[in-house]
Structure 1
């Protein structure tokens, strides 16, 4: 079994395009752990103009590093320093970055961390305590609580007596 497979299982990372090297984990301080990975693949089409990737229409064009908060153990914060592959489309002459199911586009907090904040908000705890446990800001926790409450709200029409 490869180190990438083991890390994906340990941290519940589903994306097969993320590759981890042998020495990818390191302890930053006593309170946090850093994982280093690379996200790369061959795109089928351009994200901007939707042209098919035939005859090297889309080429690799460097990387962009993102530090993503991922849920992990009870005591340590865990961050994934992800080097995302950048691509250049020769047809529309624009660049775009590789996408992953781990986070929403343009976001640095994993979907699992957001879900963890929502689940913990059901307990009788303060927003600051939940934020500290999930390694996010209290504003992020409040935003997730608001999203969850909006999903539960129903539209109540006033009762029409004139039928």
Structure 2
């Protein structure tokens, strides 16, 4: 088992397209937290808008996700999501993951952890 899979397994993330780059411990408001830097990318065959095969990769967009806490320590993830561009309809779209709903930063597991308390 690789280090990447071990970190994702510890955090409870099952998305195979997420690659962990590094993990660091920082302090924010006198509170220790672990920040995981990762990237999300996968091949796209067709445009989501028009359906043509004219999609190319178009950089990354960083998002800041709050993960569920383990053993009282706070975990966050800086996730660089791949952006795609369709040269046929001139639209852009990004890679998606099941960790969060679109345009949200709280993960589904964190929301369920909050509801338990």
TM-score (norm 1): 0.66
Unaligned 5+ runs, structure 2: none
Higher strand share: 2
Report how far residue 27 of structure 1 moved: 0.5
Aligned position for 2:32? 31
User: Which of 106, 110, 114 is the matching residue for 2:111?
Assistant: 114
**What's 1:7 paired with?**
7
Q: 1:74, CA displacement in angstroms?
A: 3.0
Pair member with larger Rg: 1
Offset of 1:72 from its aligned partner? Answer: 2.6
State the number of aligned residues. 114
Distance 1:31 1:92 in 2: 46
Say whether residues 1:100 and 2:97 are aligned partners. Answer: yes
Counterpart in 2 of 1:90?
Answer: 87
* Superposition deviation, residue 47 in structure 1: 2.3
Match of 2:84, SS state, is strand
Q: Which residue does 1:41 correspond to in 2?
A: 42
1:18 paired to 2:15: no
If the length of structure 2 is used for normalisation, what is the TM-score? 0.91
The structure showing larger relative contact order (alpha-carbon pairs under 8 Å, at least 6 residues apart) is: 2
Runs of 4+ in 1 over 4 A off after TM superposition: none
